[in-house]
Amino acid sequence: MGNFFKKIGTGALVIILAPFGLVAFVLFAIYSVLKLIFLWFKAIGKFFVGEKLTDPLDIERQAAQIFEKEQLEKKKSVEKTADGKFAGATIHIYGTPTPQEAVTPSPKLDVIDEPITPKSIETAKVKNEDPLAVLLEVEKDD
Amino acid sequence: MINFFLSLKLSEADKRLIIAIFLIVILVFLIFGLLYDSVKLIMARQGKRVDALMNLIVSSGLIVSRKQFKKIAHHKSDVYFYKVTRVYVIILAIAGLLHLTYFLLMKYVAQMPLNIWDTQTGFATILPTFDWANIEMSEFFGVMLPSNWPPIINRPHFEVVAIGSYVIVPLYLACMIGGFFTILAYLARTLRIRKLATILFSADLSEKRIHDLGELADSENTEGINTPEKVTPAPEK
């Protein structure tokens, strides 16, 4: 209810002060139009010099440089923190392959489907080893 | 004066009339109050543009005085005003050119009088036009008041000769409305700059005390003056 009466009071004040407000607005509108004409001429003048009215000011360029510098420093500090993030932590280096391991293929192992007996072990040995080396070893044994 | 009011004898009709007038006045006040609130809200939003334009410069700490702030803010506001108004000026120029061409065509080719606003060859052909001068009136509590809708002079209809008006008038209206809001926004920004210039360079020393030693007790003495050395106890044998 208080708000309602406040609105009504504001309305009454607006009606009383409206002529003054209107005059002030009209005067400001005239000033704006004059300013626009002035800006238009200024823009034309700048155009012939090879500049634009909408070009940033020197202070804006300086501010942008400061901002860029700050951003760069912030980025650097973030990178630093990321580098030292795992210092002192236990890393399972055998759990995951190193980049070199990932690139080089692992040696191919023969799978023996037969039941493991002393004979089969012997056979597997022969299969995997260099035949010349095996022959030399057999000769040595003999 | 009081006797005059006491001597007044009002009939039932007079009392009703007074109540009706009172309610109408209240309604008008309320409408104007709401209108003021909406204009204030719109201007506050438009004024916020200054904050966006000046944010980087102020944040960088390059502004050192109120005068400098005002100068740069006004420049930025002017340039923004120029950028926005440029669009409306271009539309106005196109509308003016179209109007001139349309006028020449109507005058020398069609040989018809041209008025882009009227109900014959103008935009008003597609609008209902009321005859407000001959509105039906009745006596209402002793006062003559409109008692019915006014008669319609023109019902909305399409006219081929008015086709140019259908293009030109909306362009003019867009320029008028857009121009009004642009000027309002420019005014809002000017007021905001004045306000910000006061706020940004104001200081509140009401909580500051020159001879306040309270903080000294808590502060760490890093100078080493009159600070007893910390002696580590010798290990027990």
The C-alpha atoms of residue B201 and residue B215 are separated, in whole angstroms, by: 27
- Scan for tokens 């759990």, then name that residue: A95
Q: Quick one: pLDDT band at residue B169, thresholds 50, 70, 90?
A: very high
DSSP assignment string, A25-60 = HHHHHHHHHHHHHHHHHHHHHHHHHT--TTSPPHHH
A64: chain B residues, CB-CB within 8 Å: 56
Within a domain: B82 = yes
Strand partners, B144: B139
Structure confidence by residue, pLDDT tens digits, B8-40: 777 787 888 889 889 999 999 999 999 999 999
In three-state form (DSSP H/G/I as H, E/B as E, the rest C), the secondary structure along chain A is: CHHHHHHHHHHHHHHHHHHHHHHHHHHHHHHHHHHHHHHHHHHHHHHHHCCCCCCCCHHHHHHHHHHHHHHHHHHHHHHHHHHHHHCCCCCCCCCCCCHHHHHCCCCCCCCCCCCCCHHHHHHHHHHHCCHHHHHHHHHHHC
Within a domain: B27 = yes
Within a domain: B43 = yes
B29: chain A residues, CB-CB within 8 Å: 7-9, 11-12, 15
pLDDT at B139: 79
Question: Is A39 in contact with B82 (Cβ distance < 8 A)?
Answer: yes
Within a domain: B147 = no
Residue B212 structure tokens? 């306040």
Question: Is B33 in contact with A36 (Cβ distance < 8 A)?
Answer: no
Element (H, E) at B129: strand B129-130
Q: What is the pTM of this model?
A: 0.69
The tally of domains found in chain B comes to 1
Which residue from A10, A25, A53 is facing B79, i.e. has the nearest CB? A53
Q: Which of A126-135, B27-36, B47-56, B157-166 comes out lowest in average pLDDT? A: A126-135
The C-alpha atoms of residue A129 and residue B5 are separated, in whole angstroms, by: 130
Residue A118 structure tokens? 């002393």
Q: Which of A87, A116, A39 lies closest to B86 in space, CA to CA?
A: A39
Structure confidence by residue, pLDDT tens digits, B181-202: 999 999 999 999 999 999 998 8
B187: chain A residues, CB-CB within 8 Å: 25, 28, 32
Within a domain: B180 = yes
Within a domain: B154 = no
pLDDT values of chain A reduced to their tens digit, one per residue, 142 residues:
778 888 889 999 999 999 999 999 999 999 999 999 999 999 999 999 999 988 889 999 999 999 999 899 989 888 877 665 555 555 555 555 555 555 555 555 555 555 555 555 555 555 555 655 655 565 565 5
Question: Is B183 in contact with A54 (Cβ distance < 8 A)?
Answer: no
Pairs across A and B, CB distance < 8 A: 84
Chain B residues with CB-CB distance to A under 8 A? 26, 28-37, 56-57, 59-62, 72, 75, 78-79, 81-83, 85, 89, 183, 186-187
Question: Is B81 in contact with A10 (Cβ distance < 8 A)?
Answer: no
Within a domain: B171 = yes
pLDDT at B188: 96
**A32 close to B (CB below 8 A):** yes
Cβ distance B200 to B102 under 8 Å?
no
Structure confidence by residue, pLDDT tens digits, B84-130: 999 999 999 999 999 999 989 888 888 888 888 888 888 888 998 88
Within a domain: B174 = yes
Domain assignment of residue B76, given as a range: 19-122+159-200
